[in-house]
Amino acid sequence: MPGVLVFSEKDEFALDLLPKSAALAKQLEMELNVAILGPAAKSRATQYFARGASKAYISENELFTEFDAKVQSQALFEIAEVSQAEIMLLVSTKRGKEIASSLAQMLGAGCITNALDIKVEDSKLVASRYGLGGTTIVSEYIETPKKVIAVIPQTFETIEVKSSDGQVIDVDLKLDKPEVKVIERKERKRESVDIEKTDVLICVGLGLKQKEDLGLIQELANAVGGEIGCSRDLASSLGWLSEDRIVGMSGKRCKPKVVFSIGISGQSQHVAGIVGAKTIAAINNDKNAPIFRVADYGILADLYEAVPLLTKRLHNMLKS
């Protein structure tokens, strides 16, 4: 039976994707299978069965101890063959995108990465993703017999799991040694903030003149009990805040009750991270800043005047 094959280099992401994949496989009358690579693959399979997988194609080959995109895509290529997979559903992490692209090339398959959603329409598998740098939503489908789609992590609702059985198939893979050698790995310093969960998000951008002025933003955040997020450049080029706080297409997608956008122009790649907010309030001193076109409320002002005043009023308001 033709199948849907789900894989991620991280179990948790593959598991998140499984319930949705199961629903799609059912609609397409296909079997839902998974690939699990690396140490303890066999024992990891139970969690996959609990979320709807029929068969787990596993390999504990020692080449998987270190991640190598080419080795993994080669493995998936072989598993796609033995499992009769027509649709490969992967997770659009940075590594996942490397795997998806290499695999698609090997399979001669069309490929969609950064999918925001997938659904079956007229018996076609239709995926949506951002187009034109986050400005638009593109809806598209793949025409080749085999299809590779990588979905943004944690896109779908998780469901309750029920234990269930499946078949473990240990595949003997013919793999080439990796060509790229990893010499060192440094874990990123993780901040304990979780800007995706906060109700009030204060987003700050390049309207800020110097790092020291972050104090103003912090005082506002304290006054409303919010978390600070930022535009990409403030973190990645200037390094004033950690990259965990970047909001947008290449950062976090947030759904707070309210976001205060401060000194941010509102370019599409950033806005993609706040469209899920219930209310958007923006402070900018440029009347033509695009952020005003996507905001509910805007204040046309210098942030250095507006933010302290806002903080003061909030203090009074929340005290009374």
Partner 1 sequence: MRIVVCAKQVVDLAQIRMNRETREPILSGIPLIIGDIEKNVLEEATRIKEQHKAEVIALSIGWPQPDGTILECLGRGADRAVMLADPIFETLSSTGVATVLAKAIEKIGDYALILLGEGSTDNNSGQVGPMVAQILGLPLVSYARQLEIVEDKVRIVKGLEDCFETAEASLPVVVTVSAEINEPRIPTILDVMEASSKPQESWSLGDIEISREELEQHHSVKVLSNQYPEQTRKNILFQEELGKSVDSLLQNLVKEGVLER
Q: Which stretch binds partner 1 (CB under 8 A): 35-43, 105-113, 160-168, 213-221?
A: 105-113
What span, in angstroms and rounded, lies between the C-alpha atoms of 28 and 292?
43
Number of residues counted as binding partner 1 (CB under 8 A):
84
Token code pair at residue 61: 């080959």
Task: Choose the contact partner of 191 out of ligand FAD, partner 1, none; CB within 5 to 8 A by kind.
Answer: none
For Cα atoms 300, 303, 308, give the angle at the middle one, nearest 5 degrees: 120
User: Going by C-beta distance under 8 Å and a sequence separation of 6 or more, which residues neighbour residue 227?
Assistant: 193, 194, 195, 198, 200, 201, 202, 221
Tell me how long the chain is.
320
Question: Half-sphere exposure of 75 toward its Cβ, with a 13 Å CA cutoff?
Answer: 29
d(CA 178, CA 175): 9
Shortest Å, Cβ 214 to ligand FAD: 13
Q: Cβ of residue 174: shortest distance to ligand FAD, in angstroms?
A: 37
Of 239, 237, 241, 213, the closest CA to residue 227 belongs to 241
Residues within window 20-59 making contact with partner 1, judged by CB under 8 A? none
Distance, in Å, from the CA atom of 178 to the CA atom of 64, rounded to the nearest integer, reads 10
β-strands 117-121, 124-131 pairing: antiparallel
Q: Is 142 an interacting residue with respect to partner 1 (CB under 8 A)? A: yes
- Please report whether residue 222 would count as binding partner 1 according to CB under 8 A: no
Nearer to ligand FAD, 109 or 283 (CB): 283
205 interacts with, out of partner 1, ligand FAD, none, CB within 5 to 8 A per kind: ligand FAD
Give the shortest CB-35-to-partner 1 separation in angstroms: 18
Q: Which is nearer to partner 1, 124 or 164 (CB)?
A: 124
- Distances in Å between the Cα of 295 and the Cα atoms of 6, 52, 63, 217, 249 are 38, 41, 50, 19, 18
Rounded least distance, CB 10 to ligand FAD, Å: 21
CB of 163 to ligand FAD, least distance (A): 39
Binding positions for ligand FAD, rule: CB under 6 A: 205-207, 231-234, 246-251, 263-265, 267, 269-270, 273, 283-286, 289, 302-304
- What is the nearest approach in angstroms of ligand FAD to the Cβ of residue 234? 6
CA separation for the pair 110, 25 (Å, rounded): 19
Which of ligand FAD, partner 1, none lies near 126, with the C-beta cut-off 5 to 8 A by kind? partner 1
State whether the Cα torsion 195-200-203-204 is positive or negative: negative
The item of ligand FAD, partner 1, none sharing an interface with residue 81, based on CB under 5 to 8 Å by kind, is none
Mark the segment that binds partner 1 (CB under 8 A) among 17-25, 31-39, 42-50, 129-137: 129-137
Is 11 in a helix, a strand, or coil?
Answer: helix
Q: Nearest CA to 271 among 284, 254, 288? A: 254
**Considering beta carbons, is residue 70 or 232 the nearer one to ligand FAD?**
232
* Closer residue to partner 1 in complex, CB, 162/188: 188
